[in-house]
Amino acid sequence: MIKIEHIRRHATARPEATAVVDGDVRLSWVELADAVERCAAGLTARLPEGRPARPVRAVFLAGPRWELAVAMAACATLGIPCTGIDPAQGAGRLARTLALLDPRVVFASGEHASALDGTEWSGAREVLRIALDHEDSPDPGVPPRHEGAEGAGGAGGERGTEKVRGAEDGAGVRDLAGAGVGAGDGGRFGLERARFYDLLMSEPLRRLPEPLHRESLAVVPGGPRPRVTVRGTAAEGRALLDLVDEFGFDAYDTHLVAAPLWQPLSLQLARTLLTVGAGVVLDATGDAEVLAALVTAERVTTAVIEPGALGRLLVHPDSGPLARTGRLRCVITPGRHLGRWTVDTAWKRLGPVLHLAHITPEAGLGALLTPEESLVTRMRTGRAVLGTTVAVLDGTGAVLPAGRPGRLAFAGPQVMDGYLDADADADAGVDPDGDAEGGGRSEHGPAEGEFVTLDTGAGERRFLVTGDLGVLDERGRVTLTGRAGGVTAPVRDLAVDAALFRLESDLLNLPCLRDTAVVRVSLPTLGDALVVPFIAVAVGREATGYTALRTACARRVPSIPAHVIAVDHIPYSPTGRIETAELLRAVVPILTLNLQLEQTVHQEISA
């Protein structure tokens, strides 16, 4: 996140300009600087003095909120890596992730407190746990926060009802410090507890200490075990310049964050916009009505929106006027699973603003499908962002010419330096996929997560090999064609896996579907089969979807029976991944019942 020196610079140049908006909370740059300085002082007083042998790291489990923005800026100022963790992951994976990160500080909002209370790992008893909420406020003049409750016009949550700027009593940031929640008792996570609002009561430090570390960490979602990437913070400056050149960000932008800050893309864009002096609007509701209202009321120009919220926004009637009445010029969202309907509808309702991002925790923001390109190219296509180079490798690791499919590799300032546990992996002879022993190579050349030195025409550079397969055309556009690693056990046949990926790509390019997914299952009730849920473009148009999907499945993968089913919702994670387990829990019982009914009817006819 942004450091105090940048905040002070903006506070001097534009003291009354708004830096952060969260519901009714509006922090000017001056107020943000004061809050960050006090929070940094509060953290310093509660951390070990000097430079401890154990790395000082912080993690957070919270949605986008102004308290988190302040806390992360304070950590950045002190040189403490502050890493977001997906709170929706299971308890076992959460514990393993915390053990890997080994944090000294944990910031958590109230809705995730119970998950932490039930988590045990070797360093849990030494953690400073900081509550971001102030429910049960002793000040009756400051209403409590209720995340996810009815509110905001009945549209998904009352956020930050306390007034900072413009309040009748003229209260500033420090005055909110009295509205803290008790440290509480119970729970096994951490002996030392504090309130975020206690940190805001601290007196600013006269002189900031030397930064403890100069690295940033990011958790890799999915996979057989938790992984954490490591980057030197020096690379953030170059990546920031590239993003500013790519999108033209400046101090007069207003940026909407409608994706969790533990998502690397969301955090990177928020940090970039704040660094150039733009205001940032935080939304944790993901509600379409709230988002549409924020875009209009806050005069939003740029946004990062997670795929699920984007889909809800595009079908909501309030999004209709945004293309005509708003200032919106750039919306970025992870786009691996988004299709033609999303692109076409976004153009009509939001204007030519939607950028579909190809992003991984290891390689960062690698490629973009811009609004103009999306009209003439297939989904899962994009150009490398500024500062990033894409290469396609063959089975030996050599660079392939344009038009030849192979393994994708990325070079640039956003590429990680390595994994946090890389030394342990090397000692154990395990590749980053957790599949191969020793060697570090697979059927597709270098293993996923391996670094290679390549010359693509501009001298030798260090490239990170990914698990994605793709093809690069003569114009520099890359199209994803499949995955070389990280697939589940029923899909180990690489030829079938490639066919399934091509099938899903075909379906994403159909304009008669709002959304779809292709999942291969091996179940007692369905056997080895494809489950293909889809959302029709409109009520009454399901028949067209059934016909199109069945035809495409029979053409691409005739050897595997396909079960096509219309649904109202396809669940996405904030990183753009389809939540396969949740989707199957919803549709498999319906498919099983339909199959049983069909078998009963056939038996009666035969009798």
* pLDDT at 25 exceeding the cut of 70: yes
Tell me what pLDDT residue 452 has.
92
Q: Where in the chain is the domain with CATH 3.40.50.12780?
A: 1-229
Name which of 454, 433, 453, 455 is nearest 444 in CA terms: 433
Q: Across residues 225-235, what is the average pLDDT?
A: 85
Tell me what pLDDT residue 81 has.
93
Q: Where in the chain is the domain with CATH 3.30.300.30?
A: 490-606
The CA-atom distances, in angstroms, between 184 and each of 111, 187, 576 are 14, 9, 36
This prediction's pTM: 0.83
Tell me what pLDDT residue 51 has.
64
Tell me what pLDDT residue 157 has.
36
Of the two residues 576 and 504, the one the predictor is more confident about is: 504
Contact call for residues 292 and 318 (beta carbons, < 8 A): yes
* Gap between the Cα atoms of 269 and 303, Å rounded: 9
Tell me what pLDDT residue 148 has.
34
* Gap between the Cα atoms of 51 and 307, Å rounded: 42
DSSP string, 534-557: EEESSTT-HHHHHHHHHHHHHHH-
User: In this prediction, what percent of the chain has a pLDDT beyond 90?
Assistant: 50
**Please, what is the average pLDDT of the chain?**
82
Backbone dihedral region of 55: left (phi > 0), alpha (psi from -120 to 50 degrees) or beta? beta
* pLDDT at 335 exceeding the cut of 60: yes
Name which of 367, 365, 363, 394 is nearest 383 in CA terms: 367
- Structure tokens that stand for 424 in this block: 């342990």
DSSP string, 408-466: EEEESTTS-SEETTHHHHHHHTB-TTS--BSS-EETTEEPTT-EEEEESSSSEEEEEEE
Tell me what pLDDT residue 118 has.
73
pLDDT tens for 75-134 read 999 999 999 998 888 888 888 999 999 999 999 988 877 777 777 777 777 888 899 986
Quickly state the pLDDT bin for 135 (edges 50, 70, 90): low
Quickly state the pLDDT bin for 445 (edges 50, 70, 90): low
Of the two residues 299 and 148, the one the predictor is more confident about is: 299
* pLDDT at 298 exceeding the cut of 80: yes
* pLDDT at 576 exceeding the cut of 90: no
* pLDDT at 444 exceeding the cut of 60: no
Contact call for residues 45 and 38 (beta carbons, < 8 A): no
Tell me what pLDDT residue 83 has.
94
Of the two residues 169 and 404, the one the predictor is more confident about is: 404
Neighbouring-strand partners of residue 22 = 25, 282
Name the architecture of domain 490-606: 2-Layer Sandwich (3.30)
Please state which of the ranges 122-126, 142-146, 203-207, 304-308 shows the lowest mean pLDDT.
Answer: 142-146
Tell me what pLDDT residue 418 has.
92
Range 537-567 burial, b when 16+ CB lie within 10 A, else e: beeeebeebbebbeebbeebbeebebbbbeb
* pLDDT at 494 exceeding the cut of 70: no
* Gap between the Cα atoms of 283 and 66, Å rounded: 10
* Gap between the Cα atoms of 198 and 131, Å rounded: 10
The CA-atom distances, in angstroms, between 422 and each of 309, 353, 449, 450 are 35, 39, 10, 11
Quickly state the pLDDT bin for 285 (edges 50, 70, 90): very high
State whether CATH 3.40.50.12780 applies to domain 1-229: yes
Name which of 555, 581, 565 is nearest 532 in CA terms: 565
Tell me what pLDDT residue 105 has.
93
Tell me what pLDDT residue 213 has.
78
Contact call for residues 221 and 84 (beta carbons, < 8 A): no
Quickly state the pLDDT bin for 187 (edges 50, 70, 90): very low
Tell me what pLDDT residue 167 has.
34
Q: Across residues 441-462, what is the average pLDDT?
A: 77
Q: Identity (one letter) of the amino acid at 393?
A: L
At residue 156, φ and ψ (nearest 5 deg) are 120, 25
Nearby residues of 487 by Cβ (< 8 Å), 6 or more positions away: 497
Tell me what pLDDT residue 471 has.
94
pLDDT tens for 32-89 read 999 999 999 999 998 877 666 678 899 999 999 999 999 999 999 999 999 999 888 8
- Which of 12-21, 323-332, 498-507 tops mean pLDDT? 12-21
Count CB-CB contacts under 10 A for residue 120. Answer: 12
Angle made by CA atoms 122, 126, 130, in degrees to the nearest 5: 120
pLDDT tens for 146-186 read 333 333 333 333 333 333 333 333 344 444 443 333 333 33
At residue 83, φ and ψ (nearest 5 deg) are -110, 130
Please state which of the ranges 56-65, 205-214, 583-592 shows the lowest mean pLDDT.
Answer: 205-214
* pLDDT at 490 exceeding the cut of 50: no
* Gap between the Cα atoms of 228 and 243, Å rounded: 23
Tell me what pLDDT residue 485 has.
56
Q: Across residues 555-581, what is the average pLDDT?
A: 89
Tell me what pLDDT residue 19 has.
96
How far does the chain reach from its first CA to its final CA, in angstroms? 70
* pLDDT at 9 exceeding the cut of 90: yes
Quickly state the pLDDT bin for 598 (edges 50, 70, 90): confident
- Structure tokens that stand for 553 in this block: 């499945």
